[in-house]
A and B are shown apart, each in its own frame.
Chain A
Amino acid sequence: MANLNINIGKLQLKNPVMTASGTFGYGPEFSDFFDVSRIGGIFVKGTTLRDRQGNAYPRMAETPSGMLNAVGLQNKGVDYFINHILPTVKDIDTNIIVNVSGSTINDYIETAEKLNSIEKIPAIELNISCPNVKEGGMAFGTSCLSAAQVVKEVRRAYQKELIVKLSPNVTDISEIALAVEAEGADSVSLINTLLGMAIDSEKRKPVLSTITGGLSGPAVKPIALRMVWQVANSVKIPVIGMGGIMNAADAIEFLLAGASAIQIGTANFIDPTVAIKVLDGINEYLDRHGFQSVTEIIGALEV
């Protein structure tokens, strides 16, 4: 069996398979299906400074090979997370990483500060790419200037591993990646969802209450793979890849494109055990090709 250990900056992973924010709850939701401690990390639901009710129903539309969501960061706020949810996940033996979002830079800073002192949380993923909130979110992640600004401010407040989650809804994602790297991001994760839309022709109405939403699932995989490859070739910091990963072959493609680790998102909804299947599949691939360590295939794309 190959060595699956991988480091993302200061973050040590037992393997490169993690689950994406907003698709895995806080972890216990999946413990009936498999031992969640086996995977490399769990990115918990997007967390904000204060309680958010999220958007009105309908928040989801099925699309060809994917889905649109417009949940809008429903969560009970960072204090509730620390006081009530964290105690329920503290025995999960893997990295619990909090996805942090906000409407203002100050929201991000305050939330990050509160999480900085929490021992169980080794990293945060700065969500400057949520397409489903009116203020903040993606607005920060779609210009180099605002992305750099929020990362710079949060970097001062947060000393542990700072992962910045990038939006694909930009002309050149590498520019944004370089901008956040320059301000001290330890790593980047990509892609968040692509802005999309669904219409009910019979009713002549949008399907989602918010009209537009974020597209995920295998429909976005080729775009995600291209962006991961572009970013991995532009920055020096580690890249965490995601976007439509449904199986081990998909995950390996992201590693070959230059991702040091991957996140599984939408696939968790269809097969709640998919993360373990991806992990087993990566193992099998490494053995079959005679690799001693997963690090040998990171960025190993032959062009």
Chain B
Amino acid sequence: MLDLIIKKNEVLNDQYSLLILSSSEKLPEMLPGQFAEVRVDNSPTTFLRRPISINYVDYEANELWLLIQIVGDGTKKMCELKAGNTLNLVFPLGNTFTFPENKDAKILLVGGGVGIAPLLFWGSYLKERGYNCNFVLGGRSKENLLQLCEFERFGNVYTTTEDGSHGEKGFVTQHSLLKASNFDYIFTCGPTPMMKAVAAYATQTKAFCEVSLENTMACGFGACLCCVTDTTEGHLCVCTEGPVFNITKLKWQI
């Protein structure tokens, strides 16, 4: 548990903020897929911490990035934070994605809405280690497509919007790239129907596929057993056994 300092609150638009956090201490090592449980102060209706994906870590600058979508009062209060404010985090929590076996693997990262958050960190990791990534990022409209410039640093970026305001019109799974190419490894995070569609595509094309789940949590570290998902091994905590799961382990109807 650590109090971090808001270095910058970059308001992306009226729905999203990027909080850039720092600390006087050296930040701990974090892995892509992991998350932080963030305490929200000054929100009377927010009792529990909020699990937020680690969006990016810049160790040189000692920065941790959190991408926040305003959903309720808790996330609204987080998006109102200003440089110099502190934010209390329990982190890093959860597991990480699996590295592809070889550097030539064809890798696809599919993100929807705020679900893109962990994929930026994972993409940066893969790029640093010599892998080539393709990102397909989707949203309802162009306002929901975030951090495109950041993603472009780590691979090829393709977009879809439901209203056609950016990239191809439709859902991420309808993108022409998915028809034109086959992928060995697919990683996805976003709304559950989207992840299920991606999982179905991965199953059909026999790709290795991991999804990052975002079940509601109370504690975030395996004490409350509230965030479980049904798996081939029974109910498992998304916070400690996940949030990253191989789709073959999940009892999803796909």
Contact = CB atoms under 8 A, between A and B. Distances in A.
A and B associate in one complex: yes
Contacts of A58: 215-216
B93 to A, nearest CB: 10
A271 interface: yes
Contacts of B39: 270-271
Contacts of B222: 25, 29
B223 A60 contact: no
10 contacts: A29-B222, A29-B223, A57-B230, A60-B224, A66-B47, A69-B218, A71-B224, A270-B47, A271-B1, A272-B90
Interface string B39-50: 100001111110
A25 B223 contact: yes
Contacts of A217: 47
Contacts of B98: none
A24 interface: yes
A54 B48 contact: no
Given A63-B47, A269-B48, A270-B47, A57 B1 contact: no
Interface residues of A, number: 32
Interface in B209-254: 215-230, 234-235
Contacts of B225: 22, 45, 54, 59, 71, 74
A180 to B, nearest CB: 27
Interface in A58-101: 58-60, 62-67, 69, 71, 74
A12 interface: no
B45 A269 contact: no
The B contact surface, by secondary structure, is loop
A269 B223 contact: yes
A191 B47 CA distance: 20
B235 A29 contact: no
B48 A270 contact: yes
Contacts of A272: 1, 90, 219, 221
Interface of B: 1, 39, 44-49, 90, 215-230, 234-235
Contact of B224 (A22, A30, A33, A57): A22
Interface of A: 22-25, 29-30, 33, 45, 53-54, 56-60, 62-67, 69, 71, 74, 217, 266, 268-273
Contacts, number: 82
A167 to B, nearest CB: 20
A29 B225 CA distance: 12
B218 A67 contact: yes
Contacts of B216: 58, 60, 62
B230 A62 contact: no
B235 A74 contact: yes
A149 B221 CA distance: 38
Given A29-B223, A60-B226, A67-B48, 4 more contacts: A33-B1, A45-B225, A63-B47, A269-B49
B218 to A, nearest CB: 5
Given A271-B1, A273-B1, A62 B47 contact: yes
